[in-house]
């Protein structure tokens, strides 16, 4: 009855939200006929026609989950090359990123909306033998129709904060049956287990596997063999200070602080590239010169010298991050929650961030405790951190090593997850 009520209310909500979603997707440049896949139409998907092939379906929400999925599939495909994979992405940005560099034996689609008629159409088209959900992507209809067809459902990289755990535990009478439908759950840490059990996940299905996201054993593949060194050389010769996954207001704050570092080359990679015009206008109004990655002309390299580079292209952040001397991680100072610091840490680049890192607990606290993260409070302290880390190689190296040692606790999480899911398939 609860699922029927969910379906009854979801359809009008989806219809009402669709104009806003279409407008947002258009701004990101993601409008295409492939979007019909969200409604269960798969004419351009090869696996839909290969009836003898039963793929493993991996479901990811956006860019962050897509990177986890690619990391997982890359290792899985290496160890089990006979497997075929279907990677479903919820957003156009994540979809474009995954399509630029799909893992071996993988076809990328738009993830189906969790409407009954869409999900049943999805299962009829692909007949997956396993459904793998990433982090928080737990959907009632997806789980219901998978279990109805005796298809196991696994949840990878599961994490539940104390606050979310308390809230969901109160809803256990309503949601408990859905969570009980999960065949295997890989928790990121021991602290997550009691909270996950409290919302209805069966103890016998719950395992502490570590975080695939934080596993330093296998870097997320970049979109190509792109090397940004020439682009960065055209900006000047000083230290490269980089702001990653920034949100509104953080670009200007970073520019003001980083510009005080002598001869610094400034690079910004916003969380949402469709904000490029807004960022360029804001920085230009403050007196900074800006060049967009998408329009950068290397024929006359001097034209970029002294300008701030705003990277408004998809899939190149890993390549840029490896070139930085110091990075500032966004959504930690003027916005709350935090973005992923692990790409920089894995590249041995020291990380600076604001105090609001709740989405990455307990990792953020662990990084602070071992002096692997420099926490700043405002523009002045950001300037001081960037200045110190760019001038003191010893200080920067020590912080980077401390941070990398914290990630070591998650080393092997990808392999442990792959082995557990492969065993689940054998048992089924």
User: Residue range 72-80: average pLDDT?
Assistant: 94
pLDDT band at 92; cut points 50, 70, 90: confident
Is the torsion defined by CA of 254, 61, 192, 350 positive or negative?
negative
Per-residue pLDDT at 71: 93
Q: Within a domain: residue 2? A: no
The pLDDT of residue 358 is above 90:
no
Q: For the chain, what is the radius of gyration of the CA atoms?
A: 22
Is the same domain home to 233 and 375?
yes
More confident residue, 39 or 400: 400
- Using pLDDT thresholds of 50, 70 and 90, give the confidence band for residue 223: very low
What DSSP line would sit under 62-129, residue for residue? SHHHHHHHHHHHHHHHHH-TT--EEEEESSHHHHHHHHHSPPTTEEEEEPPPS-HHHHHHHHHHH--S
User: Is 368 found in the same domain as 272?
Assistant: yes
Give the model confidence (pLDDT) of 3-53 as tens digits: 777 877 877 777 777 777 677 767 766 667 788 889 888 876 667 666 678
Q: Are residues 417 and 387 in the same domain?
A: no
Residue 18 lies in a domain: no
Q: Taking Cα atoms as reference points, which of 359, 365, 355 lies closest to residue 334? A: 355
Asked whether residue 98 is domain-assigned, the answer is yes
List, for residues 362-389, the tens digit of each pLDDT value: 889 999 999 999 999 999 999 999 999 9
Q: What is the pLDDT of residues 236-267, one digit of tens each?
A: 999 999 999 999 999 999 999 999 999 999 99
Tokens of 407: 């990630």
Report the C-alpha dihedral over residues 324, 28, 222, 216, rounded to 10 degrees: 70
In this predicted structure, what is the pLDDT of residue 313?
A: 87
Q: Is 309 helix (H, G, I), strand (E, B) or coil?
A: strand
Are residues 404 and 416 both part of a single domain? no
- Give the pLDDT of residue 372: 96
Residues 6+ apart with CB under 8 A from 302: 234
Per-residue pLDDT of 313-355, as tens digits, reads: 888 898 999 999 999 999 999 888 889 898 899 999 999 999 9
Q: What is the mean pLDDT of residues 160-178?
A: 88
- The whole-number pLDDT of residue 80 equals 94
pLDDT of residue 362: 82
Q: How many angstroms separate the CA atoms of 413 and 411, rounded?
A: 6
More confident residue, 101 or 204: 204
Domain assignment present for residue 12? The answer is: no
173 token code pair? 């009478």
The tally of domains found in the chain comes to 2
For 333, phi and psi rounded to 5 degrees? -120, -55
- How far from each other are the two terminal CA atoms of the chain, in whole angstroms? 28
What pLDDT sits at residue 299? 42
**CATH code at position 299:** 3.40.50.2000
Round to whole Å and give the CA distance between 84 and 53. 8
17 in a structural domain = no
Q: Quickly state the pLDDT bin for 220 (edges 50, 70, 90).
A: very low
Residue 92 covered by a domain: yes
Taking a C-beta distance cutoff of 8 angstroms, is the pair 184, 152 a contact? yes
**178 and 280 inside one domain:** no
Q: In what order do the strands lie in the sheet with 153-158?
A: 106-110, 85-89, 56-60, 130-134, 153-158, 184-187, 206-208
Mean pLDDT of the chain: 89
Structure token digits, residue 212: 């695939």
Q: Are residues 392 and 299 in the same domain?
A: yes
Identify the pLDDT of residue 218. 59
* Same domain, yes or no: 71 and 201: yes
Same domain, 177 and 278: no
* Residue with the larger pLDDT of the pair 119 and 335: 119
Predicted pLDDT at 180? 93
> For residue 44, what pLDDT is reported?
65
Long-range pairs, 28-33, Cβ under 8 A, ≥24: 28/91, 28/92, 28/93, 28/272, 28/273, 28/274, 29/92, 29/274, 30/91, 30/92, 30/93, 30/95, 30/96, 31/92
Which pLDDT score is estimated for 29? 63
Instruction: Tell me the CB-side half-sphere exposure of residue 426, using CA atoms within 13 A.
Output: 7
Same domain, 261 and 297: yes
Q: Are residues 282 and 198 in the same domain?
A: no
Please check the confidence at residue 301 and state whether its pLDDT lies above 60: no
Residue with tokens 């290397």: 298
Residues 6+ apart with CB under 8 A from 85: 55, 56, 57, 58, 73, 76, 77, 103, 105, 106, 107
Residues 159-182, mean pLDDT to the nearest whole number: 89
Same domain, 208 and 300: no
Higher-pLDDT residue of 25 and 298 is 25
Residue 157 in any domain: the answer is yes
Question: What's the token pair of residue 197?
Answer: 């059990």
The reply to whether the predicted model has a pTM over 0.95 is no
Q: What is the pLDDT of residue 382?
A: 97
* Domain extent for 271: 229-409
**Residue 196 and residue 76 share a domain:** yes
pLDDT at 300 over 60: no
Which CATH number does the domain housing residue 161 bear? 3.40.50.11720
Cα separation, 184 vs 100, whole angstroms: 30
**Reduced to 3 states, what is the DSSP secondary structure of residue 362?**
coil
- 316 is a domain residue: yes
């Amino acid at each position: 009855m609860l699922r029927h009520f969910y379906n009854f209310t979801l359809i009008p909500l989806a219809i009402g939200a669709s104009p806003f979603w279409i407008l947002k997707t258009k701004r990101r440049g993601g409008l295409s006929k492939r979007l019909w896949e969200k409604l269960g139409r798969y004419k351009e998907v090869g696996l839909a026609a290969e009836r003898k092939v039963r793929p493993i379906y991996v479901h990811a929400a956006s860019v962050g989950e897509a990177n986890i999925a690619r990391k997982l599939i890359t290792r899985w495909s290496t160890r089990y090359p006979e497997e075929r994979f279907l990677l479903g992405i919820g957003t156009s940005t994540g979809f474009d990123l995954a399509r630029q560099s799909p893992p071996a034996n993988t076809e990328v689609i738009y993830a189906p909306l969790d409407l009954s008629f869409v999900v049943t159409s999805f299962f009829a088209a692909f007949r997956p033998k396993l459904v793998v959900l990433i982090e928080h992507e737990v959907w009632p209809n997806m789980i219901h129709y998978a279990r109805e067809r005796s298809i196991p459902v696994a949840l990878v990289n599961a994490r539940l904060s104390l606050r979310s755990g308390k809230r969901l535990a109160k809803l256990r009478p309503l949601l408990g049956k859905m969570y009980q439908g999960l065949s295997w759950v890989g928790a990121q840490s021991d602290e997550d287990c009691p909270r996950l059990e409290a919302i209805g996940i069966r103890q016998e299905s719950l395992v502490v596997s570590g975080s695939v996201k934080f596993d330093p054993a296998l870097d997320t593949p970049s979109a190509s063999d792109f090397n940004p060194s020439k682009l960065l050389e055209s900006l000047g010769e000083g230290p490269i200070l980089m702001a990653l996954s920034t949100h509104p207001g953080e670009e200007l704050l970073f520019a003001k602080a980083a510009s005080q570092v002598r001869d610094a080359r400034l690079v910004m990679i916003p969380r949402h590239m469709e904000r490029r015009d807004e960022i360029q206008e804001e920085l230009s109004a403050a007196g900074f010169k800006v060049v967009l990655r998408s329009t950068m002309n290397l024929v006359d390299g001097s034209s970029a010298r002294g300008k701030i580079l705003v990277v408004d292209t998809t899939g190149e952040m890993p390549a840029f991050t490896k070139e930085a001397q110091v990075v500032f991680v966004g959504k930690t100072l003027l916005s709350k929650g935090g973005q992923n610091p692990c790409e920089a840490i894995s590249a041995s680049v020291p990380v600076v961030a604001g105090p609001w890192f709740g989405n990455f607990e307990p990792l953020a606290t662990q990084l602070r405790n071992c002096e692997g993260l420099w926490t700043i409070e405002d523009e002045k302290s950001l300037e001081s951190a960037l200045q110190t880390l760019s001038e003191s190689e010893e200080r920067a190296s020590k912080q980077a090593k401390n941070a990398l040692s914290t990630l070591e606790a998650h080393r092997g999480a990808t392999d442990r997850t792959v082995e557990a899911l492969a065993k689940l398939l054998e048992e089924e």
